[in-house]
Structure 1
Amino acid sequence: MDEALLRSLTPGVLAALVRRGADFAAAEDAVQDALVEAVRVWPADPPRDPKGWLVTVAWRRFLDATRADTARRRREDLAGQEPAPGPSAGAADDTLRLYFLCAHPSLTPSSAVALTLRAVGGLTTRQIARAYLVPEATMAQRISRAKRTVSGVRLDRPGDVATVLRVLYLVFNEGYSGDVDLAAEAIRLTRQLAAAIDHPEAAGLLALMLLHHARRAARTAPDGSLVPLAEQDRGLWDTRAVAEGVGILQRALARDRLGEFQAQAAIAALHADARTAAETDWPQIVEWYDELVRLTGSPVVRLNRAVALGEADGPRAGLAALAALDDALPRHTAVAAYLHERAGDLGAAALLYAEAARKAPNLAERDHLTRQAARLNARGRR
């Protein structure tokens, strides 16, 4: 069973049911039923038109679920007027359209992000909660409320561009983490969005994605362990993606409408511009983090700024900036460990690395932090 094919088809199938008049929550339930049926049937009897098959089965499931409703006849009439779309149906991309529909005016931005990641991105509630830095139970409640809000509402008004960009950004980050490979799809959709709308932040987001994606081949060692940015083989970076990202960013910045994605892309571009880690322009990176703090006020941005400050002005400066932040922030302990090691306090750094490993959100990060603690402990025994 090709799970990647199912993931790529799901948004278009969901969009087809919504266009036919199904409310969002019922449409998603029907699509999930169709996916389960596909997993059962396709291995022995693969369809010639996978998307058309899914649309047909999902629509039947929807009609079965609503047969007692008086609106059934109207929806069946709509279905009779519109043929089931195949892989090439329509000039507009169903997935992109569905992103906008999920960013509906009746939803808060956070709910729109969560609902879109679940319904369009195909992420689990746990993955979305981790991306959003909230408990899983909280995210489950948020998604349920969002579904109830849009149930019965015709999603025929596009949502806010900023919300759509945030969705794409989180989808890319989840894909880039390796849990779900959605990075390429996020880049495709963002490229299409940037071409379709006149918005420098859409261009900034595309540049950011390309610049981060360019480093992907160097982020892990052959054994699957994480390779920190400073230790990456820069010869493995995709220079074409870097050049494209920098060009897109320069054109966006020239419009003098700075936003957070452009600022993040500028930081990524400075990393890409350095031939070695030692040549990184950390003072300029700190300045861009100052801009990001001004734009967002995000504690995560302040945490990253503390790392950059530690590189630009020394680890003690970084630790002073870190001390002003809530130590419950994700990665706070790992940053503290790194800065303590840079400051020469290896005993404290080893303890902090071990503590950070226990808090790590995934196995790869946990393994990396455990290795760092073991390395310092081994040095201490010499």
Structure 2
Amino acid sequence: MKEHVARRWKRFVVAGAMAALVAGMGSTLPSAYAGGTIKADDDKWISIGMGIRTSFNSIEGAAGGHYSNDFKVDNARIYINGQIHKYVKFTFNTDCFNCNVGAGANSFGGNSSIGLLDAIGKFEINERVNLWVGRTLVPSERGELNGPFYHATFDGFRTPFNPADFSGNFPSGPNGAGAGTAGQAGLYGRDNGAVFFGKIHPFGTHLLYVASVFTGQRGGSNPTGSLLYAGRLQWNLLNDEDNPGYYTSGTYYGTAGDIFAISGNVIHQKDGAGDSVTGNVSDYTGAIVDLLIEKVLPNNAGVFTFNGEFKRYWANYGVGAFTNPAGCNFCIFNGHSWTVYALYLLPQEIGIGRFQPYARFTSIDPLYSAMRQEWEYGVNYIISGHNARISAYGRYGDLESKGGPAGPFSPGVAGNKVDSFHVALQLQY
């Protein structure tokens, strides 16, 4: 135990030194970031931007001992947005899929592929009535709607995945690829569907409502074509949040003032989980509550941020689903999980940015598998909000050694508590 503590402190000190070094060396870098826009007139324009996330990761072996040491590209995105009418807009985004995995059927150069992330047609009539159609994020918890670039921490996805994250692709044909396949429900939290949303302001508060329908999981447990439905209510009791559509952020670094936002989500699909080979098929339902509190402390004393999330998923495909020799084809999480994390943004600027230490705890308790928990501690160096940020953090727990947020959530899964250390860079324009 003493060895573990010593190793974690050494990595924490190294992280601080690296961030400070970057702060000192970067004093001549520009501090303004904005995507480029071409306007034909007030109602017709197009903009283009980019985003990259890259990291260094050192992870203790599952049985202890040697650490892996790897650099990787986590995301490489191109953003294209435009407007062609007062009420009609569009979004077209790409990402580097498989940037940090080996060759695949759709890979380029044997190690990566650039693919379609979002393709959204937007009918934005007024604050209360809006419709997005195409490929977009399935409305769910704040952590999902933050996306990787707008989390308060570099790797925000630590609780169990929803179907569109758990899946590895989109359906390849009507009602999926056929019975007995692994099932396909989208990618990177996206699915093909329609989202209706709007906002009202009862009694001086701010209420965002979202209702949606998506293709959902096809093949495997759902060969009949039932759809996935998702809804979200977000109630801001203090200041409002200004984000595109129904998207969210995990922090505003104090720029939005004081925030107290509580949200509830429901996701449901008939025959949305389980294994069609063994006949252990179940409806899938997820209920999620999330909370964001951000307080700008008086007398220029910094900014305190708190994020919390509780998930309860019902996917009662039965323990018999795991008897399939080829593996249960869509046994997503069934149980409850929660995570809490607190951050403090220091008021003083050092170099070109401000330091933001934080701590996080995550617990995942599946119905048929072992509980897994994780502590995370770190510091962000905020140069330009979510547009330029350096993060250094460590983790200790058995979440990753038991399969990570995507599982497997099968009986008999075991893993030791392991240390890991990470340094990451995020840039957007």
Same-fold call, TM cutoff 0.5 = no
Instruction: Give the number of the structure whose residues are more often strand, by fraction.
Output: 2
Normalised-by-shorter TM-score class: under 0.3
TM-score, normalised by the number of residues in structure 2: 0.24
Structure number with greater CO (CA < 8 Å, separation at least 6) is: 2
TM-score by length of 1: 0.26
If each structure's helix is expressed as a fraction of its own residues, which one has the higher value? Answer: 1
Q: Between Structure 1 and Structure 2, whose CA radius of gyration is higher? A: 1
